[in-house]
Structure 1
Amino acid sequence: MDFFAGVFGWTVIADPGGSFTGWVGDRLAAQVVAGHGGWRVVFGGDGARELSGGSGVDTGRVLHGPWAPVPRVGEPCWVELMVAEPDDGYWAAELGWETRVESEDFALFLSARHGGPRPVAGRLRTSRSSGWVPYFAVDSVEQTCVRVSELDGRVLVEPLVVPTGLVASVVGPHGGECVVLERPAGWGGTWSAG
């Protein structure tokens, strides 16, 4: 938690039971739960339940996503499912998402839960299958990569431009791979106009 708080500027609050929350102003950015490894993405939906790929569903108010305010620095701003073999039908059945195939290896998941369909997540076919990977908003990808190194983290993928925008993949000294996205205009960066 200290590493990501240092990278993203979170205010950290200790919760009962050994967990911690990271805040950007009055918005919850992440929760670290003792004993859980890696990131766990929670989607809004009907009926709280566990899903595959390190994810679940909660029936509460969705804090981040295509209908939320523009992400601030340090807040989640996109999620992407990294898999070797896509099973888009699973996500359609579980969450009511539509799939829009953008290329042989990439697809967008769209949701019409609160109005017209909007991109809610991406799916990337990759040999390095790792489940759901969160993206966090930053002012400067380059400066964030420097900060990651200063805090003993590693830059796994150097800054590059992808359809979402300017990104880099980073990991903390104790794990927690994520992607940083420079100044997203909305949920999903350039996909927010999608």
Structure 2
Amino acid sequence: MPVPDLRPGSPCWIDLMTSKPERARSFYATLFGWTYEAGDQETYGGYVLASKDGHLVAGLMENDGEAGTPDGWSTYLRVEDVDATVATATAHGGKVLLPPMDIPAQGRMAMLLDPAGAAVGAWESGAHTGFGVHGDTGAPAWHELHARCYPDTVEFYRKVFGWEAATMSDTDEFRYTTDRSGRTASAGILDATAFLHAGYPAAWQVYFQVEDAEAAITQALGLGASVVDAPRDSPFGRVASLSDPTGASFKIIEPPQHG
């Protein structure tokens, strides 16, 4: 089980807001082998922790519709001081969606809107430090922001979250920046201006690792998912985009086979 390196600025947690919690739990349990533990309703509002082989991988919460947002996954970046991060974010073109708030005994969080219009969480750890496993079958493996306003967005994450902002590619066809260089990278920003449809928001995407992309797609379809982008080979593995039974998008990645 690969243990994640949860440095400041790196993705440390994801959670799903879903209008059908029971269906979502069943879907991800079958597809990824997750098990669940529900928090105290009064304290945590029914927030559910998902684990893979006993290691924390994600959270799930009910989308009651009051916020007017669709079902979807959120990505949280680790910070040392949420309040200072929010102040820096607003000084560099960000907006506050949820102001800093304590999660009893677990940590402190805020939700921001970056210059590309993508929501991103900031998490200051308490008892809850984040992922217990990362980059293994059934667990998150990569995090990627599909962004417009690419230069401004890269600069925002550099200044607000302390990213090194290493350029992986800078051509007209493919512009991509990672939080750190080489194998130490844990997240990336893709210039998605050319293929984001009008009205489609910039957004963080989470990749879940699978052993066999085609088999995972077949299983997901049988559970009520839809294919958004068919599987294709990349230098990092075979990837595909799906939406779960209530429309929350996510990606899967089958790592390259070596040897």
Is the shorter-chain TM-score for this pair beyond 0.5, marking a shared fold? yes
AA in 1 matched with 2:175: F
CA distance in 2, matches of 1:70, 1:29: 7
Candidates 200, 208, 221, aligned match of 1:149: 221
- Which consecutive residues of structure 1, in runs of 5 or more, have no partner in the other structure? 186-194
Contact 1:15 1:21 in 2 (8 A): yes
1:85-104 equivalences in 2 (<5 Å): 85-86=149-150, 87-101=153-167, 102-104=169-171
Q: Does 1:107 pair with 2:173? A: no
Question: What's the offset of the Cα at 1:118?
Answer: 2.1
Structure 1 residue 30 corresponds to structure 2 residue 58: yes
Distance 1:99 1:140 in 2: 31
Structure 1 stretches of 4+ with a deviation exceeding 4 A read none
- One-letter amino acid of the structure 1 residue matched with residue 164 of structure 2: E
What's the CA shift string for 1:38-89, capped at 9, x where partnerless? 111111122133332222121223426xxxx662211111000011221100
Q: Deviations over 1:130-159 (max 9, x none)?
A: 410001111111100101110010111111
Whose Rg is larger?
2
Q: Which amino acid aligns with 1:44?
A: R
Aligned to 1:158: 230
Does residue 59 of structure 1 match 2:121? no
Structure 1 residues 62 and 70, CA, compared in 2 at 3 Å: closer, same or farther? closer
Q: Is the 8 A contact 2:205 2:251 kept in 1?
A: yes
Aligned to 2:143: 79
Aligned residues: 178
In the other structure, the counterpart of 2:76 is: 42
Quick one: distance in 2 between partners of 1:73 and 1:141?
Answer: 11
Maintained 8 Å contact 2:166/2:180: no
Match of 1:139 in 2: 211
Q: Is the 8 A contact 1:79 1:122 kept in 2?
A: yes
In structure 2, what residue type is equivalent to 1:133? Q
Secondary structure, counterpart of 2:253 in structure 1: strand
TM-score normalized by structure 1? 0.81
Relative distance call for 1:166 and 1:118 in structure 2 (3 A) is same
Q: Determine if contact 2:157/2:163 at 8 Å carries over to the other structure.
A: yes
Residue type matched to 1:82 in 2? H
8 Å contact 2:135–2:141 — kept in the other structure?
yes
1:22 and 1:62 map into 2 onto residues whose CA distance is 12
- Please tell me whether residue 125 in structure 1 is matched to residue 191 in structure 2: yes
User: How far off its partner does 1:14 sit?
Assistant: 2.5
TM-score of the two chains, using structure 2 as the length reference: 0.62
CA-based RMSD of the aligned residues comes to 2.4
Aligned residue among 169, 175, 185 for 2:241? 169
SS of aligned partner of 2:73: coil
